[in-house]
Structure 1
Amino acid sequence: MKKILLLTDFSENANNAITYAMRFFESQSCTFYVMYVHKVGGYVSDDLLMSPTHSIHDSITEKPTKKLNTLIEKLKKDHYKQDYHFEIIIDYDVFTDAINQAVSKFSIDFIVMGSNGASNVKEVIFGSNTINVIERVKCKTIVVPNNYKFLPVTECLVSLNKNCKLTSSIRDIIIDLLEDFNFKMHVLRVTSEKESVQIALEDRERLSLLKVNYSNIEDVPVDYAVSCYLQTHPISMTAFIAQDKSLLQRLFSHSSRKVLSSRMKLPLLVLHSP
């Protein structure tokens, strides 16, 4: 049974990501842990003053508990045919600390979240919470673009720059994805001309027993290569390895909207290599 952590701040974007998860995993037996993380310090005044007879914990969790229960009842009603189970998690720790604790405690297989939270700043592709999860939480994470409507994922593109090693652990993750979801997997490697032959040989050796469409492109910016690839192939999800520090840096940069806009029209699967 898959264990999926769904992150919510009760925004429209978070609800859209949860809706996506319900469809994406519908062929699997799943336990969904629906998690709300209260901002540290955000409960100091109103929540406590309004309920002076309650414990601090009860005062903090009362409102989100009601919202989570309402959400889960709706999910159960809408997806009663699937083998789905639901649990609630409420925490009031530092955001990524709370998520790391949940990932460890419940042996989470995937995290699913929206690309932006309640603030939904149009000029920003990824909100700060999303960036922090990508960078600091070592768990497969699906980031769903705002307003993205679910389409069955039939073909997935994994992009690798010259600094990303196609390790045995990443190969094993690809194998699991192929077995669980029956994707057609594409691997796009971008290298410099000097390194091209050796890196491509190593990649092909790692992938030799898998049904993977492998391509190697030389001396082209990786995001440009991905954009061109998406225009010529029917990709329905992109993926990258979080050891790609250059991409992580671009997530923080002011130019990220231009650089990553084509990639983030689709759900993004973030993979981690130990």
Structure 2
Amino acid sequence: MKSILLLTDFSKSATNAIHYAMRFFESETCVFHIMNIHKAGTFISDDLMTSPTQNIYESFTKVPKEKLNAIVEDLKATYKNPNHTFEVSVDFDVFTDAVNQAIKNKAIDYVVMGSNGATGAIEVVFGSNTINVIRQVICKTLVVPKDYTFKPITHFLLPLQFDDVIDTEQLNVINDFTKHYNLKLHVLRVCKNNESTHYVTTDQNILKTYDCNYLVEQDTTFYQAVTNYLKTHTIDMTGLIVHDKSFIKRLFTQSPTIELSKVIKVPLMIFHHEKH
């Protein structure tokens, strides 16, 4: 049984990501933990005065819990999946602290959340909470673009920056993921021309036992290479490895911010380097 953490702020983007998760994991036995997180500083005296007979926690959580339970009832009625069960929770904490605590306490396998999909600054493209989860939460995380409609997934792209080195253990995790969901793996190596031989040889040695399409792009930015690949290939999901270098810096350095949304036009699966 898989344990999936669904994060929601009750926005359209978050709701869309939850529905995507229902379809993506529809053939799996899962318990979905739907969680709403508030900053601890949002406690205000007016909230307490509305329900003087209730304890503080109940006063703060009543409305969001009602919303979460309404989401669960909608999901049960819409999908009628006997293999899916649901739990709801509300937490008041630093966002990533709440997520990490839930991952530990509930043995979470995947985190699922939405991006708002807007153009402009990185925080606007993804939302600051999404950025912080990508950077600080060590768990496989599925980020679903706003308004993205689920379709059967067959092709999965793993792009590698010019100085990315993947080890066998890490590749096994990714390969297990693609095999489990019957996805064709594409590996895109982006490298500088004078450094291509070493990285390509290393890639070929480690990938020789894996069934994948392998392509090398030279003398271009990581952003541009990924964008071009998405234009010329049918890709249903993109994977990225977060390790010592900032995910955001690696993906968007030298990219025009007005074009950022093109890179995340398909769902994004975040994997973390074991030494992150």
The TM-score by the shorter chain falls in which range?
over 0.9
Matches within 5 A, 1:47-86: 47-86=47-86
Separation of aligned partners in 2, 1:40 and 1:250: 32
- For 2:57 and 2:14, locate their aligned partners in 1 and report how far apart those are by CA, in whole Å: 24
Mean alpha-carbon deviation: is it higher for 126-135 or for 77-86? Answer: 77-86
1:2 aligned residue: 2
Counterpart of 1:154 in structure 2 is 154
What amino acid is the match of 2:240?
A: F
Once residues 132 and 246 of structure 2 are traced to their aligned partners in structure 1, the CA distance between those partners, rounded to angstroms, is 15
185-194 or 75-84, which moves further after superposition?
75-84
Counterparts of 1:120-135 in structure 2 under 5 Å? 123=120, 124-135=124-135
Helix, strand or coil at the partner of 1:261? helix
What is the alpha-carbon distance in structure 2 between the residues aligned to residue 62 and residue 166 of structure 1? 46
8 Å contact kept, 1:111–1:141:
yes
Is the partner of 2:194 in helix, strand or coil? coil
Partner of 1:15: 15
Task: Provide the aligned C-alpha RMSD in A.
Answer: 2.0
**Structure 1 residues 141, 48: closer, same or farther in 2, change over 3 A?**
same
Indicate the larger mover: 40-49 or 124-133. Answer: 40-49
Task: Give the Cα separation in 2 of the matches to 1:84 and 1:187.
Answer: 33
Structure 1 residues 82 and 266: CA distance shift in structure 2, 3 A: farther
Structure 1 CA distance, aligned partners of 2:176 and 2:11?
A: 31
**Residue equivalent to 2:109:** 109
* Alpha-carbon shift at residue 252 of structure 1 (Å): 8.6
Decide whether the 8 Å contact of 2:119 with 2:257 is kept in 1: no
- Pairwise CA distance, 1:46: 2.7
CA contact (8 A) 1:161 1:244 kept: no
* 8 Å contact from structure 2 (residues 3, 109) kept in 1: yes
- Per the TM alignment, residue 78 of structure 1 is displaced from its structure 2 partner at its CA by 1.6
Question: Mean Cα displacement is larger for which, 212-221 or 44-53?
Answer: 44-53
Residues in 1 aligned to 2:63 and 2:95: alpha-carbon distance in whole angstroms? 18
* Aligned residue identity for 1:143: V
**Map of 1:207 onto structure 2:** 207
Alpha-carbon deviation of 1:44? 2.1
Q: Distance in 2 between matches of 1:258 and 1:63?
A: 37
Deviations 1:18-68 (A, max 9, x none): 011111111211111101112221122332121122111111111111111
Are 2:190 and 1:176 aligned? no
TM-score (normalizing by structure 1): 0.92
Gaps of 5+ in 1: none
C-alpha spacing 1:252/1:207, structure 2 compared with 1 (3 Å): closer
Most deviating of 217-226 and 240-249: 240-249
The within-5 A match list for 1:209-224 is 209-224=209-224
Match of 1:264 in 2: 264
Instruction: Indicate how the Cα distance of structure 1 residues 223 and 20 shifts in structure 2: closer, same or farther if over 3 A, else same.
Output: same
Report the 3-state secondary structure (helix = DSSP H, G, I; strand = E; otherwise coil) of the residue aligned with 1:270.
strand
User: 1:47 & 1:73 partners in 2: Cα distance?
Assistant: 26
Q: CA deviation at 1:259?
A: 4.9
- The separation in 2 between residues aligned to 1:160 and 1:44, in whole angstroms, is 47
Identity %: 46
Give the Å deviation of 1:141: 0.7
* Paired residue type of 2:206: R
Q: Is the 8 A contact 1:125 1:256 kept in 2?
A: no
Aligned length: 271
Note the alpha carbon deviations across 1:126-148, whole angstroms, 9 max, x for none: 10001000000011111111111
Deviations 1:55-96 (A, max 9, x none): 111111111111111111111122223511111121101000
Task: Work out whether residues 126 and 251 of structure 1, in 8 Å CA contact, stay in contact via their aligned partners in 2.
Answer: no
C-alpha separation in 2, matches of 1:51 and 1:211: 60
- In structure 2, list runs of 5 or more residues that go unmatched: none
Match of 1:214, as an amino acid? Y
Q: Judge which range, 200-209 or 157-166, deviates more.
A: 200-209
Structure 1 residue 157: Cα displacement: 0.6
* CA distance in structure 2 between the partners assigned to 1:237 and 1:244 by the alignment: 23
Amino acid at match of 2:97: D
Q: Distance in 1 between matches of 2:233 and 2:257?
A: 22
